[in-house]
Amino acid sequence: MAGGGEVMGLLQVDIDFSQVKDFDEAMTKAPITLTRNLGMAFRKIGRGDIDRIKKEQLQGGKGLKVRFKGLMNAFKARTPNKPKDISQLYLNEHTGWEAAEIFETGGVIKPRGRLLTY
C-alpha cells in the first residue's frame, strides 16, 4: 500500500482450478486440508518472490545497491492465516515504503524538518 491507501502496481492472477487434474475429487475428500496446503504454497511463493526481489534487485545483481534497511524490510507478502475455504485464498505482495508511490506515479519530495538544500 502506498501512502494514500492505494494499491500500487496491482497484479491479479486467477487460477482456473477446473483445469487441475483431480482437483474436484480432492476438494470433496479433504477440502480443508487442501485449502490449508494451498495457503502454505501461496505463502512460500510470496516469501520466495520477496527474497528474490531483495537479493536480485536491491542488494546486488543489476538492480539498486540499497543499504537502507527500511527499504529492504518494507517488502512484504501476505496470505490468510487460516482460510476456511478456497475462496478465501490470496497472495498479496506489496511494499509499505512511502517513496514507492513517487517511483510509480511521480510526485514531490517534501522535507520533514530541515530543508533538503540551503
Q: Is residue 90 part of a domain?
A: yes
Q: What is the pLDDT of residues 21-69, one digit of tens each?
A: 888 888 888 888 888 888 999 999 999 988 888 887 776 656 666 667 7
Residue whose entry in the numeric block shows the C-alpha cell 502506498:
2
**pTM beyond cutoff 0.85:** no
Q: What is the pLDDT of residues 61-115, one digit of tens each?
A: 566 666 677 777 788 888 988 888 888 888 888 877 766 667 667 677 676 776 6
What is the reported pLDDT for 7? 45
Return the SS3 of 89. coil
- Domain interval for residue 95: 17-105
Q: Report the alpha-carbon angle 98-104-105, nearest 5.
A: 100
Q: Is residue 3 part of a domain?
A: no
What is the reported pLDDT for 95? 79
Q: Is residue 4 part of a domain?
A: no
